[in-house]
Amino acid sequence: MKSWPYPKIVAHRGGGMLAPENTLAAIDIGASFGHTMIEFDAKLSQDKQIFLLHDDTLERTSNGQGIAGELDWEQLSKIDAGSWFGQIFAGEPLPLLSQVAARCQQYGMMANIEIKPTENLESETGRVVALAARQLWQKQTAPLLSSFSIEALEAAQQAAPELPRGLLLDEWREDWQALITHLDCLSIHLNHELLDEKRIKQLKDFGLYILVYTVNSPVRASQLLAWGVDAICTDAIDIITPNFGA
């Protein structure tokens, strides 16, 4: 079985519920609580710059409008991605993947990069993100690449086969074994509500590491860890802290 260098607790979108998601400010706050791994979402601008954003559109988490992937980086770089969360974060920009890699190195922090393609850019996003991750994280623990997009993971596998991959599923699929084998995934990343002790044993017996999202209840987190889950992604980064369950 391949090694799993990642910690048990992962800070969701950098700072969980305590900061505007997918920003450098969020990573700073995650680090301030001692977290040693973050999860975040990466996509491409129109001119192929890799930046952080969860949604296809800008409205929910910024003062921008429209489909982010249809704008070039010069336009995206001027967007305020902090004020929606709180005035203390006003002017917080959308970060580039390169800036996030530097922050991770600064804090000695590991990364789960979720590849979030804009529609019809699945393969290109997977390829470009994987190649950049290989380059940017050269002197750090290899980032864990994950995606709901099979096409994006296939492209990442072809571009940088040595980087570990995780298949993201929000609904249970009976063909999970075939998908994992095809993509040569190290891990499976599941909505925690899909899991019980029996299903976790089935996944572990297949040789998989399991990351679950998004667990904000300490009781549920303890239960999942006791059943054998390897990593928990949480928004409650001030409650489910790095030494949780130790």
Residues assigned a catalytic role: 12, 54
Using CB atoms within 10 Å of the CB of residue 139, give its burial: 0 to 12 exposed, 13 to 18 middle, 19+ buried: exposed
Q: How many CB atoms lie within 10 A of CB 71?
A: 19
d(CA 72, CA 48): 8
DSSP secondary structure letter of residue 147 = E
Q: What are phi and psi of 4, to 5 degrees?
A: -130, 100
- Angle (deg, nearest 10), helices 122-136 and 150-159: 40
Q: How many CB atoms lie within 10 A of CB 215?
A: 26
Strands (E), 9-81: 9-11, 37-44, 50-52
